[in-house]
Amino acid sequence: MTWQPQTLPADHPPVKSGGVGVLIVNLGTPDAPEPGPVKRYLAEFLSDRRVVEIPPIAWQPILRGIILNTRPKKSAHAYRQVWTDEGSPLAVITRQQAEAMQARLGDSVTVDWAMRYGTPSIPERLKALMDKGCERILLAPMYPQYSGATTATVVDKAGEALGKMRWQPSLRTLPPYHDDPAYIDALEVDLTRQLSALDFEPEVLLLSFHGMPERTLHLGDPYHCHCMKTSRLLQARLDGRGFRIRTTFQSRFGRAKWLEPATDHVIAEEAAKGTKRMAIAAPGFSADCLETLEELAMQGRDQFLEKGGEKFAALTCLNTSDVGLAMLETLLRRELSGWI
């Protein structure tokens, strides 16, 4: 039988048109600051074997039997302290970053955003980009420092979605940018601006990164080294401004030993030794979130003042600042080279 050209059936998927997409991805956040949605989000997040590297047979009973019955209520309370009319700060800022990138990159690309855990999901937004005709997609995890628990799990999830497609898009991924001059420049400019707007001069500036179990460092995860390099490069830019700089790791979770020194311990130690004025920045977070707005700006302040500190400032993340957006545009344009 000879082949005959046919008209496409009505349910045929759209024929693509060579478009280029960018998918900006961050960690994820609950849909509402209530125990139910927080439980759903934590169940997905903490079941990811990239995040908790304990065999499921040992971990799932602890997660389902203890953690998911206790933590959601406490975490929901924390989320309520930072929730905005538009939703969770992490989701709101990530969406705004995507909108700003769409405006800056113009019509030659379609920019969308997704969350690794919760909504909008990576598979859903990849499909949406493809439905708009994108055959080439730049996947952009918003993590300056690489780790298995952040960057790699975003790529895994996209790969899982692609694994179910007959006709896949071409994929590029944004590399970690922990030592990129564009990132270090943006941090220097933004932190300098924020520090000069304070009504006090800090004696110490903490650079607080999200923690990880120390074991991941010994297993070869570059996260700790990436954080230390960011910190060293930034310190070189901020030296000679009259304050000391210390690198710390926040948000301990579980019983294992985490990277040290711990941010909360250093806050208490500084206050106990007589430091009166402290500022804290979180250069590893591309958007303010629960961990910066509640853990640092609220709990951190309380800890410092309770122990005798007098002035405390939690600086904001790059978020949608002009320098932050210009930096993101530089990184994205570099990876889109040859595509647009």
Count of residues binding Fe ion (CB under 5 A)? Answer: 3
Q: Which of 20, 51, 130, 174 binds ligand L6N33NVT (CB under 6 A)?
A: 51
Query: Is 150 one of the binding residues for ligand L6N33NVT (CB under 6 A)?
Result: yes
To the question of whether residue 135 is assigned a binding role by annotation, the answer is: no
- The single-letter code of the amino acid at 172 is R
Give yes or no for residue 270 binding Fe ion (CB under 5 A).
no
Selection from Fe ion, ligand L6N33NVT, none that 51 binds (CB < 5 to 8 A by kind) is ligand L6N33NVT
Going by DSSP bridges, is the β-strand pair 170-173/109-117 parallel, antiparallel, or unpaired? unpaired
Q: How far is the CB of 187 from ligand L6N33NVT (least distance, A)?
A: 15
Say if residue 43 is exposed, middle or buried (CB neighbours under 10 Å; 0-12, 13-18, 19+).
middle
Cis, peptide link before residue 261, omega less than 30° from 0: yes
Among the listed residues 83, 177, 249, 285, the single contact to ligand L6N33NVT using CB under 6 A:
285
E-strand ranges in 184-288 read 204-210, 244-250, 277-281
- Binding-site member from 130, 234, 289, 313 for ligand L6N33NVT (CB under 6 A): 289
291 annotated ligand binder: yes
Nearer to ligand L6N33NVT, 64 or 127 (CB): 64
Which is nearer to Fe ion, 21 or 33 (by Cβ)?
A: 33
The torsion defined by the Cα of 29, 33, 35 and 38, in degrees rounded to 10, comes to 0
Report the side by side order of strands in the sheet with 109-117. Answer: 109-117, 19-28, 134-141, 170-173
- Interacting partner of 247 out of ligand L6N33NVT, Fe ion, none (Cβ under 5 to 8 A depending on kind): none
DSSP 143-193: -SS--IIIIIHHHHHHHHHHTT-SSPPEEEEPPP-TT-HHHHHHHHHHHHH
Question: Judged by CB under 5 A, which of 38, 82, 295, 309 binds Fe ion?
Answer: 295
Using the minimum distance from each CB to ligand L6N33NVT, give the nearer residue, 22 or 42.
Answer: 42
Residue 96 CA to residue 79 CA, distance in Å, equals 20
Which of 216, 231, 248, 251 is in the footprint of Fe ion by CB under 5 A?
251
Report if residue 75 touches ligand L6N33NVT, rule: CB under 6 A.
yes
Which strand (E) or helix (H) includes residue 25? Answer: strand 19-28
Q: Work out which of 20, 27, 207, 234 binds ligand L6N33NVT, going by CB under 6 A.
A: 27
Distance CA 94, CA 286 (A): 9
Q: Least CB distance from residue 84 to ligand L6N33NVT, whole Å?
A: 12
- The nearer residue to Fe ion, 97 or 251, going by C-beta atoms, is 251
Burial-class residue 99 by CB neighbours within 10 Å (0-12, 13-18, 19+).
Answer: middle
Q: Which does 75 bind (CB under 5 to 8 A by kind): ligand L6N33NVT, Fe ion, none?
A: ligand L6N33NVT
Cα 252 to Cα 45, 177, 249, 255, 337: the distances in Å are 15, 24, 8, 9, 39
Known binding positions: 210, 291
Binding site for Fe ion (CB under 5 A): 251, 291, 295
Known binding positions for Fe(2+): 210, 291
